[in-house]
A and B are shown apart, each in its own frame.
Chain A
Amino acid sequence: MMYGLKVVLRHLLGTDIADRNLAVYPDDTFIVSYPRSGNTWTRFLIANLVFPSEKVTFANIERLVPDSAALSNRVLKRIPRPRIIKSHQYFDPRYHRVLYIVRDPRDLVLSYYNFQRKYRQIADDYPLTDYVDDFAGGRLISADWGTWGENVASWIYTRQNQNRFLLVRYEDMKSNTVQQLRRMAAFLGLEPTTERLTQVIEASSSQRMREMERTESEHWVATKGHRKDIPFVGAAMSGRWQSDLPGPLVSKIESTWGNLMTTLGYPLMASEPSQPYSILR
């Protein structure tokens, strides 16, 4: 009979994590991505852009661009509207305005591997081969948000024809940050000068974020109490897979999502996608 007093109390106090149960307002804007796709960097860029009077840090990012997977509905209700919210959710028809960030899954898996070791979700010596297998097969914690392919495709396929949806590739953000940030600003209804964009980008640089992480990681809900020898802010590079991901593991990912990767403009190492008749395996 008992579901657990804890659950009931959490409900009564409104302290349960929002995530899929987030109370959505029609004027909300969401920064959505699969984990380790540059979401936190984007949050910093947007927060610096939208709140010029604030010095954006890990200590106040949850107040400026809150994370629906880390905060409760009760806290999120108090964020002034219109809210800009971070999310990892797969397609949700209630999200009206969505900025979706996508990243090459071959880089993503390397970043996620380090991340899960940081959070001790896998052992330090967990074989990368098994890990890539789990990633492609949807057996990691992140599979609650679907596999990489399911998450990405569920948004793009349902929303790409609409003006309230903006797709941004992490790789383009890295190679031409000004241009991509200007697109995002336009999406949010802002027209910043190039000088302003440069300031925002400077204030959100990976170097600066690394410095802030060193001093503030105990003030941020995502890193508080976790090991410090592996940083949250990773390599912040694109194309690392070419040197760090062994060939067979690259093939594993490409045979799983080759069609979708090609569609997104991520050239495959293999000349042909192995399954020409399905976008996803």
Chain B
Amino acid sequence: MKYKARIGIYRHLGQLHRNLGRNEMIHKLIYGMKLLLGRDTPGRNLTVREDDVFISSYPKSGNTWTRFLVANLIHPQEAVTFLNIDHIVPDPDLRSRNFLKNCPRPRVMKSHHPFDPRYKRVICIVRDPRDVALSQYHFQIKRGLIKTGHPMEEFVQRFVAGETNEYGSWGQNVGSWLIARHHTPGFLLLRYEDLKERPEEGLAQIAGLLGLEVDGGQLARAVELSSADRMRKLEKLQAGKWASTRETRKDLAFVRSAVAGEWKSGLPHDAVAQIERAWGHIMRVLGYETVTTATTAHGEGNPIPLALMEIPLNDVRT
């Protein structure tokens, strides 16, 4: 390195040190080392390849279950558990860049991100937002983010505003994928509820997207090995070792009810109305019947015809 450039860097580093204070500087250096060694987690800086497949969903929409289904299908040599799932269907927000680089292609990965144009092959799992709200509520208690008995209405208010996680609101996250990719090649939309009812059918569609030729026996095996019962048993044994549950309360389960429609008994009427007021239009096109009379509020000053909001999704329901 030329002497002048070196001085420049030292001066920059010195200035940086003064600006940031010691801790941030050390943090930056550690991250720099990680970058150099490929140990950083790329997250949205992932180098996406053309043949990558993403299992994409809003958090608590059945992503982990779908990961198990897919992993058991593409990795029949050993049964999938919480200890190997992060290797077979990795999450770019959790795994290192080196690991991801060396994954056999085509890689199948997990994602909660809203629409990303670089993702060319996407398995998009959607779930009734009223059940998603309930599930997220319980998961946040498990993670210690809110206390047992936290008022549901307050939680749902933040849920609707998209403040309960960093992936946008349910409507923004799901809506961004639907509007950009629905009815395009490489995009498979599956409802959690349909997957519950007819898992083998949904998994066969996934196999189609992955370009796999599978028979009924293989599908049945993958479904069996990914049942809620089996996942609960595995969780009991492995919760202390899995990255997503390691630091959460052990008296509450990660694999919870795993049923559709729990909101009917578990969600207060006001909370249901809040959700339907925010996203009634998307819910209806996805075939989630609304029960309150609330209609979607339209903002001021943006006279976009309703046509754009009512994207026809009729094939979802058949």
Chain A residues engaging chain B, CB cutoff 8 angstroms: 1-3, 5, 7-9, 11-14, 20-21, 90-94, 138, 143-147, 149-151, 153-154, 156-163, 165-167, 183, 259-260, 262-264, 277-281
- Chain B: minimal CB distance from A277 (Å): 5
Nearest to B15 among chain A residues (CB) is A13
User: CB distance A156 to B183 under 8 Å?
Assistant: no
Asked whether any CB of chain A lies closer than 8 Å to the CB of B136, the reply is no
Find out whether the CB atom of A14 lies under 8 angstroms from the CB atom of B309: no
Tell me which of B182, B308, B309 has the highest count of chain A C-beta atoms within 10 A of its own C-beta.
B308
Residues B37 and A1 in contact, CB atoms below 8 Å apart: yes
| Closest B residue to A94 using CB positions | B166
What residues of chain B lie closer than 8 Å to A260, measured between beta carbons?
308
Distance (whole angstroms) from the CB of A126 to the closest CB of chain B:
23
Chain A residues positioned under 8 Å from B296 (CB to CB): 161
Closest A residue to B25 by beta carbon equals A12
CA distance A151 to B171 in the complex (A): 17
* Further contacts, 10 of them, CB under 8 A, given A90-B116, A280-B181: A8-B36, A11-B31, A13-B16, A20-B45, A90-B180, A161-B298, A166-B302, A262-B307, A263-B308, A279-B179
The contact sample of 24 A-B pairs, CB cut-off 8 A, is A1-B36, A5-B36, A7-B35, A11-B28, A11-B35, A13-B12, A13-B13, A20-B44, A91-B168, A91-B176, A93-B114, A93-B169, A150-B115, A150-B180, A151-B117, A154-B115, A156-B308, A157-B178, A158-B171, A161-B297, A163-B300, A263-B305, A278-B182, A278-B312
Considering the chains assembled together, what is the distance between the CA atoms of A11 and B114 in angstroms? Answer: 26
Counting CB contacts under 8 A, is B21 at the interface?
A: no
A167 in complex: contacting residue of B32, B118, B173, B302, CB < 8 Å: B302
Contact with A along B286-318 (1 / 0, CB 8 A): 000000000011111110110111011000000
Contact A138 B117 (CB under 8 A): yes
Q: Tell me the complex Cα distance, A94–B118, Å.
A: 19
Q: Pick from A150, A158, A161, A281: contact of B168, CB below 8 A.
A: A158
Bound Cα distance from A150 to B28, whole angstroms:
35
**Is B29 an interface residue, CB under 8 A from the partner?**
yes
Within 8 A of A (CB), among B27-83: 28-29, 31-32, 35-38, 44-45
**Is there an interface contact between B117 and A143, defined as CB atoms closer than 8 Å?**
yes
Tell me the residues in window 155-183 of chain B with beta carbons closer than 8 Å to chain A beta carbons.
Answer: 162, 166-169, 171-173, 175-176, 178-183
The answer to whether B184 has its CB under 8 Å from any CB of chain A is yes
B180 partner residues in chain A, CB cutoff 8 A: 90, 146, 149-150, 153-154, 280
Residue in B closest to A153 when the chains form the complex, CB atoms: B179
Collect the chain B residues with CB atoms within 8 Å of residue A264's CB: 304
The CA-CA distance from A226 to B98 in the complex, in Å, is: 37
A150 — which chain B residues lie within 8 A by C-beta? 115, 117, 180-181
CA gap between A21 and B31 in the complex, in Å: 15
Residue of B nearest to A146 (CB): B117
**A-B pairs with CB below 8 Å: how many?**
137
Q: Are B304 and A280 in contact (CB under 8 A)?
A: no
CA gap between A100 and B213 in the complex, in Å: 45
What chain B residues lie within 8 Å of A3 (beta carbons)? 35-36, 38, 97
- B307: nearest chain-A partner, CB-CB: A263
Q: Is the Cβ of B35 less than 8 Å from the Cβ of A157?
A: no
B172 near A158: Cβ-Cβ < 8 Å: yes
- Given A143-B117, A166-B302, A279-B308: A157 in contact with B32 (beta carbons within 8 A): no
B146 on interface, CB distance cutoff 8 Å: no
**For the complex of A and B, 3 pairs with smallest distance between CB atoms:** A93-B168, A146-B117, A157-B179
Most buried by B among A146, A147, A150, A158: A158
Chain B residues with Cβ under 8 A from A278's Cβ? 182-184, 311-312
| Any A CB within 8 A of the CB of B145 | no
Given contacts A20-B44, A90-B117, contact A165 B13 (CB under 8 A): no
Compute how far the CA of A89 lies from the CA of B47 in the bound complex, rounded to whole angstroms: 17
Inter-subunit contact A160/B115 (CB<8 Å): no
For A13, what are the chain B residues with a Cβ–Cβ distance below 8 Å? 9, 12-13, 16
The minimal Cβ–Cβ distance linking B49 to chain A, given in whole angstroms, is: 15
How many angstroms from the CA of A163 to the CA of B302 in the assembled complex?
Answer: 9
How distant is A68 from chain B, measured CB to nearest CB, in Å? 14
Residue of B nearest to A93 (CB): B168
B16, B36, B118, B300, most chain A CB atoms within 10 A: B36
Knowing A8-B32, A12-B32, A91-B115, the reply to whether A158 touches B175 (Cβ < 8 A) is: yes
Distance (whole angstroms) from the CB of A104 to the closest CB of chain B: 16
Interchain CB contact under 8 A, A160 and B299: yes
Cα–Cα, bound, A260→B311 (Å): 11
For the complex, give the distance between the alpha carbons of A158 and B278 in Å: 11
Q: Is the CB of B115 within 8 A of A183?
A: no
Is the Cβ of B308 less than 8 Å from the Cβ of A165? no
